[in-house]
Amino acid sequence: MTLEQLDFLLWLAIQEDLGHGDVTTDSVVEQAREGRAVVIGREPFVLSGTKVFRRIFELLDPAIQIENFFRDGEKIQPGIPVFGLEGSLKTMLTGERTALNFVQRLCGVATITSKMVQEISEYSCRLLDTRKTTPLWRKLEKEAVGHGGGTNHRFGLADGVLIKDNHIVAAGGIEKAIEKARQCAPHTLKIEVEVDDLDQFDIALQAGADIILLDNFSPEMMKEAVKRNNGRVLLEASGGVVLEKIKAIAETGVDFISCGALTHSAKSIDLTMEIEFASSS
Amino acid sequence: MTLEQLDFLLWLAIQEDLGHGDVTTDSVVEQAREGRAVVIGREPFVLSGTKVFRRIFELLDPAIQIENFFRDGEKIQPGIPVFGLEGSLKTMLTGERTALNFVQRLCGVATITSKMVQEISEYSCRLLDTRKTTPLWRKLEKEAVGHGGGTNHRFGLADGVLIKDNHIVAAGGIEKAIEKARQCAPHTLKIEVEVDDLDQFDIALQAGADIILLDNFSPEMMKEAVKRNNGRVLLEASGGVVLEKIKAIAETGVDFISCGALTHSAKSIDLTMEIEFASSS
Amino acid sequence: MTLEQLDFLLWLAIQEDLGHGDVTTDSVVEQAREGRAVVIGREPFVLSGTKVFRRIFELLDPAIQIENFFRDGEKIQPGIPVFGLEGSLKTMLTGERTALNFVQRLCGVATITSKMVQEISEYSCRLLDTRKTTPLWRKLEKEAVGHGGGTNHRFGLADGVLIKDNHIVAAGGIEKAIEKARQCAPHTLKIEVEVDDLDQFDIALQAGADIILLDNFSPEMMKEAVKRNNGRVLLEASGGVVLEKIKAIAETGVDFISCGALTHSAKSIDLTMEIEFASSS
Amino acid sequence: MTLEQLDFLLWLAIQEDLGHGDVTTDSVVEQAREGRAVVIGREPFVLSGTKVFRRIFELLDPAIQIENFFRDGEKIQPGIPVFGLEGSLKTMLTGERTALNFVQRLCGVATITSKMVQEISEYSCRLLDTRKTTPLWRKLEKEAVGHGGGTNHRFGLADGVLIKDNHIVAAGGIEKAIEKARQCAPHTLKIEVEVDDLDQFDIALQAGADIILLDNFSPEMMKEAVKRNNGRVLLEASGGVVLEKIKAIAETGVDFISCGALTHSAKSIDLTMEIEFASSS
Amino acid sequence: MTLEQLDFLLWLAIQEDLGHGDVTTDSVVEQAREGRAVVIGREPFVLSGTKVFRRIFELLDPAIQIENFFRDGEKIQPGIPVFGLEGSLKTMLTGERTALNFVQRLCGVATITSKMVQEISEYSCRLLDTRKTTPLWRKLEKEAVGHGGGTNHRFGLADGVLIKDNHIVAAGGIEKAIEKARQCAPHTLKIEVEVDDLDQFDIALQAGADIILLDNFSPEMMKEAVKRNNGRVLLEASGGVVLEKIKAIAETGVDFISCGALTHSAKSIDLTMEIEFASSS
Amino acid sequence: MTLEQLDFLLWLAIQEDLGHGDVTTDSVVEQAREGRAVVIGREPFVLSGTKVFRRIFELLDPAIQIENFFRDGEKIQPGIPVFGLEGSLKTMLTGERTALNFVQRLCGVATITSKMVQEISEYSCRLLDTRKTTPLWRKLEKEAVGHGGGTNHRFGLADGVLIKDNHIVAAGGIEKAIEKARQCAPHTLKIEVEVDDLDQFDIALQAGADIILLDNFSPEMMKEAVKRNNGRVLLEASGGVVLEKIKAIAETGVDFISCGALTHSAKSIDLTMEIEFASSS
């Protein structure tokens, strides 16, 4: 996402909240009033969204000063200032909610990712995101997964071949699906096939898949697949991946674990903006 | 949100996932292949997002037929078909993820709202949403709150005066803030003031607030505020509202309870699209 | 209207006039030629549109220097320089018409508003605009009303409940309309009802309207309504408000007078840009 | 203006008024309620804007039926239905103001144009508009001039060479300006020169102008210019053209009279939408 | 490219040519005049752009009837009707140039592609396009390559890893570049490396490239690379590929030949629209 | 084309190539790596596109430094640096292809134009472009024609009356077509008529055309037309204009020669970007 694309989305979001104006702040706060503010968390979290936070306020008011006390990916304790703002009070009050709505979610994604990555840190296995992202925020959420230590799977439908159950039925079987993909899909893309059991796994392996996705396999089935594969192709596990079970999956020896909950069910981090008023003597 | 505005957002979302094309489906599924599909839930939920679901597929392919088996707001059991699709298999496979990403979230919002509303159904108190929505989806999420039986608070900064702590400090006190708002804000809007304790409550009541928001009050403090108010202005409770505690809040006699978690922390509902292939004899 | 939104509209306006280029200026004026210019009025007026004037030229040419000799809302005599420009002659000639088309209209709105406000200055009554604005320029025209000393009514359909005759018929009477609005409209908005005679007025007052709009009442009827109201709700007079009659309306004791002509029939102010050429020795 | 471009502007205008929704109509009028309505004028006028009127309602609701009882350019008496609407009451109430804001202005332009054209109908002279249009509505306003019987001058800066006083000074005299335009401007465009007196007129005629604009000439000076021209080039009169004086200008024998007031100072026509409710038995 | 995205680009193109209106056709052709037309080529060609041709006219005028006598990819002799049009003459005259500007170029791309593919038809080698496309028309030009029998390389920078000379220097050598790509690039993408000579080729093969691009290799060097590769990875030849030399390249046994000239230097096909006028008896 | 409009098109082009990111450069090149680069040609050419080249990189990265060693319109020998870049290596690698795709084409247009202009330099005849441009790049390509020494014909359908064969048939003959255009087209535009033979030529001359386009005339016919015209109107030759024949056309004495091949069949110039790496010691 180039800066221009990001700004476009942020403007839409600002306009959504702002409409024709912030009637409270415009009425109650003097135009020229200046101040400082900090954003702090009320729980520990991994930071993501620094670029978004800064741009929202800059778009509203090029004169405001934003300071990042941390970089994306850092772990932050509650009560520690994460962002500093200095400038127009009206700008701060008007942009606060939109900025926090973004950053709270993105920090939530980075934080759950980080916890899962921590769980599997002693294995070579890597944690992947999925396409189960919030519509319009895929790039930002995938960056947040990266800030949490995760790895990005394909961005969308155009940059990866992933043959799922419905594709297999439509094509008339795994072999035919792989054969068609080999003929028609860009030669620069690997071919990944989702399988439901070990029989399908064997067929996919035989038919020349480059990556095999083990969907809802038990750890025992995963181990068997790893054994049969013997290092030939990349193996990815998915389905019902939660913090409590991820270590057991990583132990099976699969190369990747993909987890939709990183983005579709991340809990927002509780952040608050605290404004410091200069004494108006 | 007019249809045009909705379509604009849905196209952005489609393009985000689709990029320059669905290389898997384009390679593996024949252009002319037709079929049927249904969407079912794997858990009980309250429906929201029927309009979004339909438009995403229609935008991709005007020839596809979408059937709604239920209306927004209905409670649906797991395993029951919610949507039916008939037409191009390629369209279904290409639109599936984007459509479900929306609907799963919106049903999540409607479902948690419905649970909370159910908890307080014996009281006259109403459940409100907040501005803590997913950026760009405020209208859709506020509609989902409605589908769950909740009531919408102001849409954004332009259609409600809500004087919060920082506004009060900036204005030099509650009385001055209310006075300025009375002078400068549109005369068509009521003036709501957020208070942190009963002393502030008394001042706001005295100064002529139309609505008072009791922020992080204990149930006892709420009861006292209800008593002191004696029906004069509307009272809204907020802060740390969760399913387990909401009934106790409603019991205090406040008019409204507002809850950010309805939108910022709703859990996605687990939906799946099942495709039925005609035998290709 | 944030700067971004304003710029978007100004760009559309510039492109409308400029098309693929200013063939006269491009042919006749040397690229590098610089100069100064001033804008003056040929009649007395109240200024509005300084932000628009500046941005149009800045969008065409970031190097141009614009000086504001007055602020929005000031009364200006004919022949006095209002804006100064310094920089590329081509930029001045290319932007002149679009800039003046805006500013002449906005000054017209501010000027007629100011005259009307002057008429009623000895009363506490305030002058309101309406939604009868030039499509796409509502925010600018409402700001111009403010520069003339007027007060803004609701911005649009989303931020005020105004129940008019057709709504009343559709709802089945004033009481039912107010009751439905009380139930369904956001609790942050006051409820305004338009009435045609004193019988309707009594019903609206009884039914709990927050504001009552007296449509096409004679001054005598207005006085009677003020008397019956006895300070309970806000009263707004509208219908056929012209400069000659406004004082008599204000005398009746209504709180607000709303006037569509402020925006739909304001006369453009006659402004001219005078360019000063450096001697080309 | 293609339909697509018109729709784009109309959507912007609809969104400006509608925001996130029509809270009055949504609260007070039942979703399914249907009805009929007509638009009538309260004064005689020339019609313009039928396309705009229709599209605004169609964009809001493709199911609504709009009937045009007259065509653009027809003269209409007060009290006669101009448009008929049939369908959703909510659509009518929501679209009414935006539609009328457009059509009232456009009819105003057509009406004043028609009056002026009538004044000069016995002369071969034609009435021209100018670039003094409402920003963003140039195409619509120029069409309205046509509906009133007027003729369009150049659309914008790209499709006509018009050398004005500042261009002349910048170029170093009328001859040099014409020479540069002859060399550099597209050969498909005629060259028009604005002159302030008869001396300049002679120079422009001599230097090969294709059209000469007589700016603020007295009728006597115009007659002299017509005489000196002797049919060689087209003559256009401008400056202070009002209804009372236009006939005297036409009598001088000029080919064209251009008048900015057609668009910058047209008075809105008083139109009203009357809704007919089916008895809800 | 979804239909919506295509329409957006086509509208921009239509507006570019049309501006505020087709002054010739609007003046000279009666609004209601109808007719038929055909488009024919003046040289043999391979068809591409049928979708574009149809949409341009449909966007201008939904009532026009377009008939495709052939499908994209078919070879067409001069003088044979390719498209038929029936409806408004004005629409045909207004849309003609924009439609032909597109289709002539796209047919040019399909035609040169087809000639090259024909040359190598007896080899298993496939012809690839590149990113040297006309800005904004990549999707259309890549489809045209497909219509000519060619195969698409990666669409853009996001859906293929192609390590070129500058990347190699920046990374510190071929091995390091491949290693970094293996670590950081999406695991769903193959890694292609561009090499300039056989030494680099050996290194890339050794380091685990999935595809090797032989840049400006002589046929002898290509043969040697094919031999050393022995079927392990895919080989792509590029650099100076012209019709006269392509067969010799295919003979070497490489898997792909990529050719920028398919898109950056395709010669437009000479097409003409012939209008048939009904006798206006 | 104002800077804003250019930026809009350049962003679309950047996004087309960049998608969600440059996976190769992002993986292989360190974020902070800086360097220098130059662009050189591998053949002689006339420069066009300096503004485009600069903006593409500036849009990607405001910190990059671009140096123009030449101005548009200059003739440049192979191997000479045309542009210099200094800054982030990643920016250079990511923007390279899109920037070159533009500039190579624009230089191609300027170069072929320059060659043709050179051929006819001893005649007063001027070389014109046509509307056969690449959709969306008309302004840029017309500027490139200017950089090559050519002259621009009308920009589009709105700024020139050009009556072609189909218009003539639709109008019922040349005289009627000219008469209608005289009545209805803007009086600021000259009327150009395309004729196929000398009989039509005589009619057009007689009927008062301002410019006559001699379509596919032989040089002998052109000479005869020039003779019959005797300097009365402007004459433009078109049809099958190629470098080899253009001198013979100019000799006939026509005022203009228009050539579609300048834009629809210009050969891209072979440009390359060479990156200089600082030694990373």
Average pLDDT, chain D: 95
Residue F131, pLDDT score: 97
Confidence of residue D115 (pLDDT cuts 50, 70, 90): very high
Per-residue confidence (pLDDT) for residue E2, from 0 to 100? 62
Chain F contact for A4 (CB, 8 A cutoff): yes
Q: How far is E217 from chain A (nearest CA, A)?
A: 21
Q: Which residue has the higher pLDDT, B5 or C245?
A: C245
Cβ separation B97–A131 shorter than 8 A:
yes
Catalytic, A122? Answer: no
* CB B58, CB B103: distance < 8 Å: no
Amino acid at F127: L
What pLDDT is stored for residue C278 in this prediction? 62
Residue C281 has pLDDT above 50, yes or no: no
Summarize pLDDT for E239-274 with one digit per residue, the tens: 989 999 999 999 999 999 999 999 998 999 999 999
Residue F103, pLDDT > 70, answer yes
Tens digit of each residue's pLDDT (9 = 90 or more) over B109-148: 999 999 999 999 999 999 999 999 999 999 999 999 999 9
Residues with Cβ within 8 Å of C213's Cβ and at least 6 positions away in sequence, in order, are C162, C192, C193, C194, C195, C236, C237, C238, C258
Given CB atoms, is A2 within the 8 Å cutoff of chain F? yes
Q: Are A155 and E154 in contact (CB < 8 Å)? A: no
CB-based contacts of B213, cutoff 8 Å, min separation 6? B162, B192, B193, B194, B195, B236, B237, B238, B258
Are the C-beta atoms of residues A95 and A60 closer than 8 Å to each other? yes
- Tokens 């507002």 sit at which residue? B258
C51 to chain A: which residues are within 8 Å by CB? none
DSSP string of D157-221?
TTS-EEE-HHHHHHHTSHHHHHHHHHHHS-TTB-EEEEESSHHHHHHHHHTT-SEEEEET--HHH
In three-state secondary structure terms, A249 is helix
- Nearest CA-CA partner of F102 in F130, F134, F68: F134
Residue B191 has pLDDT above 90, yes or no: yes
Among A152, A158, A211, the residue with its CB nearest the CB of E159 is A158
- Is E136 a residue whose pLDDT tops 60? yes
ipTM over 0.90: yes
**Chain B neighbours, 3+ Cβ pairs < 8 A:** A, C, D, E, F
- Give CA–CA dist A166/A168, Å, rounded: 5
pLDDT tens readout for residues A121-134: 999 999 999 999 99
Q: Is E147 on the interface with A (CB under 8 A)?
A: no
CB contact under 8 A, E160 and A186: yes
Percent of the residues in chain E that have a pLDDT greater than 70, as a whole number:
97
* Amino acid type, E187: H
Q: How far is F141 from chain B (nearest CA, A)?
A: 27
D259-280: average pLDDT:
87
Q: What structural domains and CATH numbers belong to chain A?
A: 3-116+267-278 (3.90.1170.20), 121-264 (3.20.20.70)
Residue C277 to chain F, least CA–CA distance (Å): 25
Residue to substitute from A103, A157, A190, interface B, most B β-carbons within 10 A: A157
As a whole number, mean pLDDT of residues B67-82 equals: 98
pLDDT of F3 strictly over 70: no
How near does any CA of chain F get to the CA of E125, in Å? 26
Q: Does C60 touch chain F (CB under 8 A)?
A: yes
Active-site choice (A164, A182, A223, A247): A164
Q: How confident is the model at residue B5 (pLDDT cuts 50, 70, 90)?
A: confident
| DSSP symbol at E76 | E
Cβ contact, residue pair A2, F20, below 8 Å? no
Neighbours of E261 (CB within 10 A): 19
What is the per-residue pLDDT across F80-92, written as a single tens digit (0 to 9) for each?
A: 999 999 999 999 9
Q: What is the reported pLDDT for C1?
A: 54
State the pLDDT confidence band at D281, using cuts at 50, 70 and 90: very low
| Res. C136: pLDDT tops 70 | yes
> Which of E20, E25, E26, E58 has the highest number of chain D CBs within 10 A, making it the mutation to test binding with D?
E20
Q: Helix, strand or coil for residue A281?
A: coil
Q: pLDDT-derived band of residue F5, with 50, 70 and 90 as boundaries?
A: confident
Q: Hey, what amino acid is at B39?
A: V
The average pLDDT across C255-268 equals: 95
The pLDDT score that the predictor gives to residue C3 is 63
Query: What was the pLDDT predicted at C276?
Result: 83
> According to the model, what pLDDT value does residue F207 have?
97
Active site positions of E, annotated = 97, 132, 164, 194, 215
- Mark yes or no for CB contact C18/D158 under 8 Å: yes
Q: Reply yes or no on whether A176 is catalytic.
A: no
Average pLDDT value over all residues in chain E: 95
Question: What is the average pLDDT across A69-85?
Answer: 98
**Cα dist from F247 to F115, F152, F219, whole Å:** 11, 19, 10
Q: Is F229 on the interface with D (CB under 8 A)?
A: no
Select from D2, D138, D156 the Cβ nearest to the Cβ of E60: D2
Per CB-CB distance under 8 Å, the chain A contacts of D19 are: 19-20
Chain C within 8 Å of D75 (Cβ-Cβ)? Answer: no
Instruction: Report residue A278's pLDDT band, with 50, 70 and 90 as the boundaries.
Output: low
Residues of chain F positioned with their CB less than 8 A from the CB of E156: 16-19
Query: Is pLDDT of D279 > 60?
Result: no
pLDDT digits 0-9 by tens, C140-192: 999 999 999 999 999 999 999 999 999 999 899 999 999 999 999 999 999 99
C neighbour chains, 3+ CB pairs within 8 Å: A, B, D, E, F
Q: Is C73 left (phi over 0), alpha (psi -120 to 50) or beta?
A: left
Q: Does D233 touch chain C (CB under 8 A)?
A: no
The catalytic residue positions of D are 97, 132, 164, 194, 215
How much is the average pLDDT of B74-89?
Answer: 97
Per-residue pLDDT, averaged over E96-108, amounts to 97
Q: Which of B7, B15, B20, B59 to mutate to test the interface with E (most CBs of E within 10 A)?
A: B20
Task: Cite the active site residues of B.
Answer: 97, 132, 164, 194, 215
Residue B279 has pLDDT above 70, yes or no: no
Contact (CB<8Å) A20/D20 = no
Q: Which residues from chain A sit within 8 angstroms of residue B167, using beta carbons?
A: 24-25, 28-29, 93
Chain A residues near residue D15 by CB distance under 8 angstroms: none
Is the pLDDT confidence value at F237 over 90?
Answer: yes
Condensed to tens digits (0 to 9), the pLDDT of residues D6-63 reads 888 999 999 999 999 999 999 999 988 999 999 999 999 999 999 999 999 999 999 9
Nearest to C31 by CA among E189, F71, A265, D222: F71
CA distance D188 to chain E (A): 12
B2 in contact with chain D, both atoms CB, cutoff 8 A: yes
Q: What is the DSSP string of E170-216?
A: HHTSHHHHHHHHHHHS-TTB-EEEEESSHHHHHHHHHHT-SEEEEET
> Which chain F residues are Cβ-neighbours of C18 within 8 angstroms?
2
Q: Taking a C-beta distance cutoff of 8 angstroms, is the pair D58, D66 a contact?
A: yes
Long-range CB contacts (within 8 A, 24+) of A219-227? A219/A248, A219/A249, A219/A251, A219/A252, A221/A197, A222/A249, A222/A252, A222/A253, A222/A254, A223/A252, A223/A253, A224/A198, A225/A198, A225/A201, A225/A254, A226/A252, A226/A253, A226/A254
Confidence of residue F271 (pLDDT cuts 50, 70, 90): very high
Q: Which helix (H) or strand (E) holds F30?
A: none
Q: How many angstroms away from the CA of D27 is the closest CA of chain C? A: 5
By annotation, the residues of F acting in catalysis are: 97, 132, 164, 194, 215
CA distances to C88, C167, E224, E239, F90 from F95, in Å: 32, 58, 34, 21, 8
